Amino acid sequence: MLSKLSQFVENLSTAETMQQLRENVDSAVQWLGFASFNISLDKRTVIEFIESPTLTTWADSDLEQYLRDSWADRDPLLSQIDRKDSAFLWHVEDWRDHQDYYDYISSFGLCGGMSIPLHRAPERRGAMILMSKCEKPLTLETLMSAKILAHMAMARATSLSEKAGGSEDQRQRLGLLSQRQREILRWVAQGKTNREIAMIVGSTRRTVDYHMQEILAKLEVPSRTLAAAALLGTESSG
């Protein structure tokens, strides 16, 4: 296991883009037995883990449905992540006292997971959240391996974000966006969901979804958070 873990660590440390880093993290967590992950860094509150994750394999549609259904106000897992300053494993049976959440988690075929705090600055929150469909048992060894991968992913994501913030390459990529796509991206930077943006710009949700996919493809980033950061980074640097 150690040699395989070392290879994944090397893959994370040498990722050249955020998209490549996302793919490498996904490969690593799949190897550990997880179905999906969410890495969120430098957030003011844990709800921003859902609103604007840094790297994630969770579908935008699922994240927006979570927000529309107001799960943040009644999510026992998110509440536990907010309270705890150490990594922990959980099992779906832990939420039997929260029947609605138990049913919600079960509807995705999930049966357990893990949370690893990734706090980099005072008054800021961060974590890697992993979800499992129990194809492999979750053990303390799994937890320790995941912690190593999480911190390496955080370090590389920080490095790549700082490098891309005001780079000429990013400016050129932003130049590929249409006027409407730039408008949508500015609303994303203000924390608006695709549904809210559609109402603001007088378009359909499907059209905004399409533009967001085009924006991510043109900027070569895996998340709306990084796309917004690229826009703000280039505008603030001149």
Helix (H, G, I), strand (E, B) or coil at 54: coil
- Look at residue 238 and tell me if it is in a domain: no
What backbone phi and psi angles, to 5 degrees, belong to 53?
A: -65, 155
Domain count, the chain: 2
Q: Name 183's Cβ contacts closer than 8 Å, sequence gap at least 6.
A: 201
237 in a domain, yes or no? Answer: no
Per-residue pLDDT of the chain (238 residues; tens, 9 = 90+): 778 999 999 999 999 888 899 999 999 999 999 999 999 998 888 988 998 888 999 988 898 889 889 898 899 999 999 998 899 999 999 999 999 999 999 999 999 999 999 987 778 889 999 999 986 778 888 999 999 999 999 999 888 876 655 566 777 888 899 999 999 999 988 888 888 999 999 999 889 999 998 998 888 887 888 888 888 776 655 4
Closest by CA to 88, choosing from 80, 79, 96, is: 80
Burial of 31 (0-12, 13-18, 19+ CB in 10 A): middle
CATH at residue 187: 1.10.10.10
Instruction: Assign residue 64 the CATH number of its domain.
Output: 3.30.450.80
pTM of the model: 0.75
State the residue range of the domain holding 20: 2-164
Structural tokens at position 176 = 């590929």
Statement to judge: residues 103 and 33 lie in one domain: yes
As given in the structure block, the two tokens for residue 107 are 């509807």
Which H or E run contains 67? helix 60-68
Judgement on whether residues 45 and 144 belong to the same structural domain of the protein = yes
